[in-house]
Amino acid sequence: MSEILSFNNVSFSYTPEVEDARKAVQNVSFTVNEGEWISIVGHNGSGKSTMVKIISGLLFPQEGEVRVMKNVLSEENLWETRTQIGMVFQNPDNQFVGATVQDDVAFALENNGIPHEEMVKRVHKSLKQVKMDTFLNHEPHHLSGGQKQRVAIAGALAMRPKILILDEATAMLDPQGRAEVLNTVQELRKETGLTVLSITHDVEEALLADRILFMNDGKKYAEGSPLEVFSLGDKLVEFGLELPFAMRMTNLLKANGVQLVGEHMTEEELVNDLWTSNFNK
């Protein structure tokens, strides 16, 4: 497994000229390896969005370094690096540049001077990957939020990025749209082994990740598998994060005297434990 993205003791402050200023990101280090799905969770103001801006080169850290594909991100390789990162933002409307679906998917390709024939091929292929290939000429206001986000994913995929970053991409969607987008990402990963970094405060979304990074007040508070991070339990609740529904249910059942074995992250696990719980006595 090779490294795709890494933060090395990165610190960033929006007001560097002030001494002892609050740092939006403080001494954060982590590594994302090829093919992984990493979730960064944390409540508002925990530094998640700043980290995204640092990865995409919109902000440069005052301390530490960011490596993308093992190259340190700098002003010189900024544009080249951006072609290797696909990004999907929160508001489906505000990232739709083209007049129609296919124009929007082609936008990044146009910017990077991809020849026309290649562009047409890539647009069709990436729209097929997100199952939006029958919407080629649709205008954005005739699409649902989930569909727009899928188009945004296709737009990112067209550049054949090494890593796909979802910056709260499901936050403004209804449950159906959210499921659409997350299913699309999961299928993409199955097919292509894409590396995904999702920034979210939706706990159920974070559960899909291989590894969770829990941010609090600009610092990395915990890192590990979903089970490891969520077994911190009440500590997370203190920092304003909700526990997954199955986990809260488990805790409540236990408090009411139902015998359950261990913690459960998903509903399925909990149900399986519940209907067998009497046999285990």
Classify residue 184 as left (phi > 0), alpha (psi -120 to 50) or beta. alpha
Q: Residue 107 and residue 96: Cα distance in Å, rounded? A: 10
Closest approach, Cβ 106 to another protein, in A, equals 4
Strands 3-12 and 63-68: antiparallel
What does 34-94 look like in DSSP terms, one character per residue? Answer: TT-EEEEE--TTSSHHHHHHHHTTSS--SEEEEEETTEEP-TTTHHHHHHHEEEE-S-SGG
Question: Whose Cβ is closer to another protein: residue 165's or residue 209's?
Answer: 165
Closest approach, Cβ 241 to another protein, in A, equals 25
Rounded (5°) CA angle 175-204-264: 135
Question: Whose Cβ is closer to another protein: residue 117's or residue 234's?
Answer: 117
Question: Whose Cβ is closer to another protein: residue 159's or residue 182's?
Answer: 159
Which among 36, 110, 168, 238 is annotated as catalytic?
Answer: 168
| Residue 76 annotated to the active site | no
Question: Whose Cβ is closer to another protein: residue 120's or residue 274's?
Answer: 120
SS3 211: strand
Closest approach, Cβ 93 to another protein, in A, equals 5
Task: Give me the residues that bind another protein (CB under 8 A), please.
Answer: 56, 58, 79, 82-83, 85, 87, 89, 91, 93-100, 102-103, 106-116, 119-120, 123, 139-141, 155-156, 159
Please list the active-site residues.
168
